[in-house]
Structure 1
Amino acid sequence: MHTFISKLYELTTSKIHFRFCLLLLACVSPVSAMFLQDQAYVMASVTTAVAGYAVMVIFFHGDYLERQCSLLENEVIKDPLTGAFNRRYLMDKLNDCLSVAKRTQDTASLVAIDIDFFKRVNDQHGLDVGDTVLKQVVRTVQARIRHSDRLCRIGGEEFILVLPSTDVIQAKVLADALRLQVSEAVFTHREEVTVSLGVSQLAKADSIDQWMKRSDQALYQAKAQGRNRVAVV
């Protein structure tokens, strides 16, 4: 019963229901006035119809502006090729993590991700295939991470994965899973693609630069160990 009431409340307060009521009012009022033949009622009905139509137009235009603002926001914070977040958004997210850590003693982790031998893919198969590889790697990672996690492209084949409320052990487990999933994925050029990953946990005295530098150091270690590896600093 409680679920039914909740659903009914959602319906009655939704934009769709409100527009339907306005449309019904705008259509029914003039028709009913024709049958009643009451001049005052006719004027009131016409006024109601016009007002209802005007409100509907305002709502539809409001939705259009809302969609346009959403598209504009995506253009500002997202990489147009892969759909991952961009460096600008990354810095905002890292600032948020530092702020939360100071207030709540919560932690967070970064995973630096680099596609192994990506230049070879571009050289041997062309830039179009390289772009496809980038997009598929991003889709593979995004399918595995939580809704609160953020994958950001910081340039070329390099990415940073921001993991709020995640310690280094949890981050390494996720990084290993991502490494395995990418290596097992089937790409359009029918060749194996692997990634190297570097993990670092936010320390109490960290600045953003220090935190990111440690994830870069871990990534370099993973590459030095032979690539297709996860390293932790």
Structure 2
Amino acid sequence: MQAEEPRIQDISILYVEDEVAIREGYARALNRISNHVMLASNGKEGLALFQEERPDIVISDIRMPVMDGIEMVQQIKEIEPECSVIFTTAYNDSEYLLHALDLQVDAYLQKPVEKNLLKYKIEKLAASILKEKIHLLQQKEIESQRVILQNVLDHEKNLLVVTDFEKVHFANKAFLDLFSVESAEAFNRMCISFLNIFSPVSPYLHRGLLAEGETFYDLVERSEETKRIVTIVANNAQPRAYQINISRIIHEARASYLCTMTDITGMNSERLSTEKKAYYDSLTGIFNRHKFNELFEIELSRVKRYSNHASVVVLDIDHFKHFNDTFGHLVGDKVLQKLAQTISRRIRTTDIFARWGGEEFVLLLPETAIHDAVKLCEMLRESIAAIRCIEADSITASFGVTELLADDTVKSAFKRADDALYAAKKAGRNRVMTVS
């Protein structure tokens, strides 16, 4: 009986796609996830296979000859209303989307479907299906259940844990091996609380982010799917990143949670590297113009919605072109880096600092009225003037400051800040000026 217990590899998948090249290409990817993949070239074939095999998950194109995906899934739902379904389509058609919503499908993915995204959706559905199968096991005698569940979990490469977020009740071999312990009991003796394994590092999830009265399950549920990531450092090894999914279950008449953690360290590093190239200035390491604009729009909407104070600062280095022409671009780059470091060390973590281009920088100061923004800029101006460079005696910067208004646009706010900067330059540079 133990050998027949469910594993993610045992989740059966029916894939229906009329285009041969696409069907064969994705079949190879699906076979790496599941040991039971069935293929059909149209809805009629797919329906016949479903009636015969009763797969756990159906993945289907929508537009197909003989019988389309919508009609096939309608008939499948009549047979098995709870069947998990993922639609793929090359057409961004609202009518199809409405049909999909009516059928309560689990995902609607635009072609070409990114294979890692498809894998993630399948694994998420599979975890839910496994949870239901595990729930059936929990109706049996507790000790027998423990043995069966342990057997299921030990076949998983993912880290699987049943916990109340303090003590671990069950853990699979992958989890126990990670911490070099033989049992859940041994882990509990070593670690006071399960949540202590998650490193308190931004932007990852950890217990320090919990609101009053909130469980870790609540924290994960309110987080965007792409942000449901934790980091674990075990046995003094390098930190590893895991995508975490949590399902609520009943264990020994009390609420417990099944935590599934998938190692995405390589994928996460690649994502962070891509994000860094897209959103950060390569010379100074601070945000670039693109990222600043994105965050500015968010803050502007907060100002309009909640009537918050927020200020915008535009600054640039005085006579930087002359400085560059005199001492060379390498020295100029060094100055830009020093200025970025100086400002970064003196602003709040909630403040947004970016290189706008060349020698020009911008600051967005949430929850900051203009008089407080001016005080900060005066302090920054003095700090910049204190920077010493071997090739040059001193560096100065001019600042233009304005406060966001309820009827502002990005263009209008920056126009005022630029006008203030121009006034600072005209008044002799190395000063802070405002425009209300």
Q: TM-score, normalised by structure 2?
A: 0.42
Distance, in Å, in 2 between the alignment partners of 1:173 and 1:18 is 47
Distance, in Å, in 2 between the alignment partners of 1:168 and 1:19 is 47
| Correspondence for 1:181 among 351, 376, 383 | 383
The answer to whether the Cα contact below 8 Å between 2:304 and 2:407 also exists between their aligned partners in 1 is: no
Distance, in Å, in 2 between the alignment partners of 1:137 and 1:18 is 39
Is residue 169 of structure 1 aligned with residue 386 of structure 2? no
Structure 1 unaligned blocks of 5 or more? 1-6, 21-54
AA of the residue aligned to 2:406 = K
Q: Which residue of 2 aligns with 1:16?
A: 233
Aligned-pair CA distance for 1:108: 0.8
In structure 2, the CA distance between the partners of 1:8 and 1:154, relative to structure 1 (3 Å rule), is same
Aligned-pair CA distance for 1:19: 11
Distance, in Å, in 2 between the alignment partners of 1:201 and 1:174 is 14
Q: Select between 212-221 and 93-102 the one with higher mean Cα deviation.
A: 93-102
AA of the residue aligned to 1:141 = I
The answer to whether the Cα contact below 8 Å between 1:11 and 1:17 also exists between their aligned partners in 2 is: no
Aligned-pair CA distance for 1:12: 4.7
Structure 2 unaligned blocks of 5 or more? 1-190, 200-231, 238-259
Distance, in Å, in 1 between the alignment partners of 2:197 and 2:416 is 52
The answer to whether the Cα contact below 8 Å between 2:384 and 2:397 also exists between their aligned partners in 1 is: yes
AA of the residue aligned to 2:385 = S
In structure 2, the CA distance between the partners of 1:188 and 1:67, relative to structure 1 (3 Å rule), is farther
In structure 2, the CA distance between the partners of 1:13 and 1:84, relative to structure 1 (3 Å rule), is closer
Aligned-pair CA distance for 1:107: 1.8
Q: Specify which structure has the higher proportion of strand.
A: 2
Distance, in Å, in 2 between the alignment partners of 1:75 and 1:116 is 28
In structure 2, the CA distance between the partners of 1:8 and 1:79, relative to structure 1 (3 Å rule), is same
AA of the residue aligned to 1:154 = W
The answer to whether the Cα contact below 8 Å between 1:129 and 1:188 also exists between their aligned partners in 2 is: no
Distance, in Å, in 2 between the alignment partners of 1:214 and 1:12 is 49
Q: Which residue of 2 aligns with 1:84?
A: 286
Q: Which residue of 2 aligns with 1:135?
A: 337
AA of the residue aligned to 1:202 = L
In structure 2, the CA distance between the partners of 1:12 and 1:204, relative to structure 1 (3 Å rule), is closer
The answer to whether the Cα contact below 8 Å between 1:12 and 1:18 also exists between their aligned partners in 2 is: no
In structure 2, the CA distance between the partners of 1:70 and 1:13, relative to structure 1 (3 Å rule), is closer
Q: What is the aligned length?
A: 190
Q: Select between 151-160 and 181-190 the one with higher mean Cα deviation.
A: 181-190
Is residue 102 of structure 1 aligned with residue 304 of structure 2? yes
| Correspondence for 1:154 among 356, 361, 374 | 356
Distance, in Å, in 1 between the alignment partners of 2:283 and 2:418 is 23
Q: Specify which structure has the higher proportion of helix.
A: 1
AA of the residue aligned to 1:127 = H
Task: Give % identity.
Answer: 36
Q: TM-score, normalised by structure 1?
A: 0.76
Query: Where does structure 1 differ by over 6 angstroms across 4 or more consecutive aligned residues?
Result: none
Distance, in Å, in 2 between the alignment partners of 1:191 and 1:13 is 48
Q: Which residue of 1 aligns with 2:40?
A: none
Distance, in Å, in 1 between the alignment partners of 2:198 and 2:348 is 30
Aligned-pair CA distance for 1:195: 0.1
In structure 2, the CA distance between the partners of 1:19 and 1:129, relative to structure 1 (3 Å rule), is closer
Report SS of the residue matched to 2:313: strand
AA of the residue aligned to 1:184 = A
Report SS of the residue matched to 1:110: strand
Distance, in Å, in 2 between the alignment partners of 1:84 and 1:114 is 15
AA of the residue aligned to 2:322 = R
Q: Which residue of 2 aligns with 1:125?
A: 327
The answer to whether the Cα contact below 8 Å between 2:385 and 2:395 also exists between their aligned partners in 1 is: yes
Distance, in Å, in 2 between the alignment partners of 1:176 and 1:12 is 43
AA of the residue aligned to 1:73 = E
Q: Which residue of 2 aligns with 1:46?
A: none
Distance, in Å, in 2 between the alignment partners of 1:181 and 1:111 is 16
CA RMSD of aligned residues (A): 2.2
Distance, in Å, in 1 between the alignment partners of 2:281 and 2:294 is 15
Distance, in Å, in 2 between the alignment partners of 1:90 and 1:74 is 13
Report SS of the residue matched to 1:205: coil
Q: Which residue of 2 aligns with 1:193?
A: 395
Aligned-pair CA distance for 1:17: 4.5
In structure 2, the CA distance between the partners of 1:184 and 1:67, relative to structure 1 (3 Å rule), is same
